[in-house]
Structure 1
């Protein structure tokens, strides 16, 4: 039998080759059923020291975000990169890069392969997955897209002109930052253990809330045909 081709759900305007339009709005009609299929993930730096909870230090920079200019926030120079994948029920995979390395397309594909091997949702990761991520180069590389075709996973494209609408960026990593605020770690292993423990033990409502926030955002993207949408 031929392999199943994944559905590409895009918020890009039609001129950019989008397939998301009025004909796909019903895809969101059974709202909670659709939310159950979403798996989202992203990368973030985790420092040996993260500033406390003052308002100006609540900035949680993405790995490929431009450098901040307004505030001098004293993050520790010692840091490791974490890839976190989750759904509305909880964390699915936490994968840390080796110190001194960053994510590229091949490394991202290795992480996706680890994710596919996970079986925490009774087979969910082998069927019915709608993967949501942003437009970072490793995520949109040809080798990544080819791998997702082989997996048969549906892909929800991130709006090209809207900042950080993937829920890891605007929700989960912000809460992780708040938890880590003011804490100091003496080793990478201590950082890993603390982050993994928090992701596994944080209330399930944190994950559910983050995925539910997608509904108004997605609807707004549909109404604006993929134009700029603020957080």
Structure 2
């Protein structure tokens, strides 16, 4: 006769009983340690990788070289690169792509940017002049503005294609002048033509006529404060003579500073966004696009681009002349 087998499920041990048993084991362990003559109360080292005590060294290495990898830091300090990553993440570090800047600024460049911005800030505080400011600049407008886009593609499907821009794209140069109210005057040069001193002086004369029609208060009472960058046609002897004839005050602009030129950081950036992915079949199509773009922008758009200048000057001063990343 087979003996019946029964499985009995024991009831769980009471919590108090379990804790009491653990305490007894701890007491027995300490008693054995002291009995053997070991009176060290610190826990013995455990097996496995120790917790790193080199956080300060990791931060020092990062401050010296922001491009170094976690693997390289790990090799230098003889710790796992994952440990390095954990400490960097806790300290708020995250690897990002470097931002392109237009020029490697020298000490003199930095000092020029600092001193000019500080001077403009003080002057604007004493006598606000931004509503008298006329901004001038040039930009190449390309006919084909292909851009790569991300598209949904199945795992085994061929990606979407886009034609790469040609090395010598069809393009025309735009010259534009604007203020806090909007566009004052602009010209689209003949295909392939660029700016020289002679042409620039002719443009300034046509700009004067446009200002007399659309901004007569600047001609009659307040006077124009004129801003352009340091391109060669802008700083030539002929151009400086023409500006003296016009009686316009030329605003100081530090070299290699597109981050302080409203056309570069504001107007042209928005214009390029409107052109991305656009194909202009002809010069007429280009003119229509520009006309619509300028007309559709509100008064606030133009005002924002110029009235933000004091904030940008202040940031340059606070950063000791370094570029604004925006």
Q: How many Å apart are 1:25 and its aligned residue?
A: 4.7
Alignment correspondent of 2:199:
107
Q: Is this contact kept in 1: 2:145–2:276, CA < 8 A? A: yes
Alignment correspondent of 1:124:
218
Rg larger in 1 or in 2? 2
Counting matched residue pairs gives 200
Decide which of 124, 130, 146 is 1:35's aligned counterpart: 130
Is the deviation greater in 35-44 or in 125-134?
Answer: 125-134
SS in 2 for 1:84: strand
Residues 205/24 of structure 1: CA separation in 2 closer, same or farther (3 Å cut): closer
Structure having the larger proportion of residues in strand: 1
SS in 1 for 2:174: strand
Decide which of 255, 263, 272 is 1:168's aligned counterpart: 263
- Greater RCO (Cα-Cα under 8 Å, separation 6 or more): 1
Alignment correspondent of 2:324:
230
Alignment correspondent of 1:64:
none
Alignment correspondent of 2:165:
74
CA-based RMSD: 3.0
Alignment correspondent of 1:8:
none
- Provide Cα deviations, 1:89-121, integer angstroms capped at 9, x if missing partner: 100011111111101111111111111001212
Q: Is this contact kept in 1: 2:118–2:313, CA < 8 A? A: no
1:84 aligns with 2:176: yes
SS in 1 for 2:144: coil
Q: How many Å apart are 1:26 and its aligned residue?
A: 4.0
| Alpha-carbon distance in 1 for matches of 2:148, 2:308 | 23
| Alpha-carbon distance in 2 for matches of 1:22, 1:165 | 13
Q: Which runs of 4+ in 1 moved over 6 A?
A: 21-24
TM-score, normalised to structure 2's length?
0.54
SS in 2 for 1:80: strand
Q: Is this contact kept in 2: 1:128–1:153, CA < 8 A? A: yes
- Provide Cα deviations, 1:150-169, integer angstroms capped at 9, x if missing partner: 11111112112434421101
Alignment correspondent of 1:69:
none
Structure 1: gaps spanning 5 or more residues:
1-11, 56-71
Q: Is this contact kept in 2: 1:53–1:178, CA < 8 A? A: no
Structure 2: gaps spanning 5 or more residues:
1-107, 151-162
